[in-house]
């Protein structure tokens, strides 16, 4: 196990990294590029998933605060899982968290004015294919999951680990909803189908491998951030 001081420093560093990612990803954007006009939004049950997604992110990102406030309690049983060699797991967590924060910042920057937690498509939306979106349709979800995994491994907490599992499930559901919105949008459907065919959902496909777009009625869907075309969850 890393020392308490080191882990508290890692908790503080988590917020420094997240703050830097948000700052880097939110450069001034001309208002002319801001999404507006008629909005397509998913049904109410998908908005319930949206609320659960926000709550899950809040629980995971607030966990380091508990570590800072009460390190002796949060870094030992029953909140933390301790075992021989756990320092190696903590080190892996630091690496995973650092990579996730970098992905978060670059994803935010690529989305620009389209970054949002809401799932919707307006007549000003376009399919973002810059930055991480070149090979991944939902890098923002990947970044959130990576952040959650990193925090879980660094502090070896069972609570963030359980929440992480839930976030993975919610990310899959939300990405399906987003892709459905895009694939049923008359203006974006054809381009988005081609985009789906050459990208991975949460991880890039190996070169030469292609993913098959699904029917708007069945598999791949569309929405704003995930493909993330245009607005993603923060």
Structure confidence by residue, pLDDT tens digits, 36-94: 554 556 566 667 888 899 999 999 999 999 999 999 999 999 999 989 999 999 999 99
* Pair 159, 59: CB distance under 8 Å: yes
Strand pairing partners for 136?
A: 200
**Domains located in the chain, CATH noted:** 4-27+40-222 (1.20.120.1630)
Q: For the residues of 20-60, what is the DSSP string, one character each?
A: HHHHHH-----GGGS--SSEE---HHHHHHHHHHHHHHHHH
pTM: 0.82
Element (H, E) at 122: strand 121-122
Strand pairing partners for 222?
A: 179, 180
Please state the rounded mean pLDDT for residues 224-229: 43
Q: Which of 1-5, 28-32, 93-97, 110-114 has the lowest mean pLDDT?
A: 28-32
Tell me the range of 145-159, 170-184, 185-199 where mean pLDDT is highest: 145-159
Does residue 27 register a pLDDT over 90? no
Residue 207, SS3 per DSSP: coil
| Residue 128: C-alpha distances to residues 27, 81, 110, 159, 176 (Å) | 16, 41, 7, 34, 17
Percent of the chain beyond pLDDT 90? 58
Please state the rounded mean pLDDT for residues 194-202: 92
CB-neighbour burial class of residue 20 (10 A; exposed 0-12, middle 13-18, buried 19+): middle
**What mean pLDDT is reported for the chain?**
83
How many C-beta atoms surround the C-beta of residue 16 within 10 A? 10
Does residue 193 register a pLDDT over 80? yes
Please state the rounded mean pLDDT for residues 138-150: 96
């Amino acid at each position: 196990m890393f020392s308490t001081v080191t882990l508290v420093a890692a908790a503080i560093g988590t917020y420094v990294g997240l703050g830097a990612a948000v700052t880097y990803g939110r450069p001034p954007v001309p208002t002319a590029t801001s999404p507006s006009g008629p909005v397509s939004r998913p049904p109410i049950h998908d908005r319930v998933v949206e609320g659960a997604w926000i709550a899950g992110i809040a629980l995971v990102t607030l966990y380091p605060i508990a570590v800072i406030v009460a390190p002796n309690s949060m870094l030992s049983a029953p909140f933390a899982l301790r075992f021989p060699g756990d320092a190696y797991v903590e080190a892996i967590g630091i690496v995973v968290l650092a990579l996730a924060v970098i992905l978060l910042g670059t994803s935010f920057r690529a989305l620009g004015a389209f970054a949002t937690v809401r799932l919707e498509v307006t007549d000003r939306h376009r399919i973002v294919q810059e930055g991480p979106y070149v090979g991944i349709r939902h890098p923002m979800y990947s970044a959130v999951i990576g952040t959650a995994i990193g925090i879980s491994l660094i502090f070896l907490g069972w609570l963030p680990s359980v929440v992480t599992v839930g976030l993975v499930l919610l990310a899959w559901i939300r990405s399906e909803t987003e892709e459905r919105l895009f694939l049923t949008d008359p203006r974006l459907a054809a381009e988005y189908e081609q985009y789906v065919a050459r990208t991975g959902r949460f991880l890039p496909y190996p070169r030469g491998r292609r993913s098959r777009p699904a029917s708007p009625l069945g598999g791949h869907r569309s929405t704003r951030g995930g493909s993330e075309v245009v607005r993603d969850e923060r």
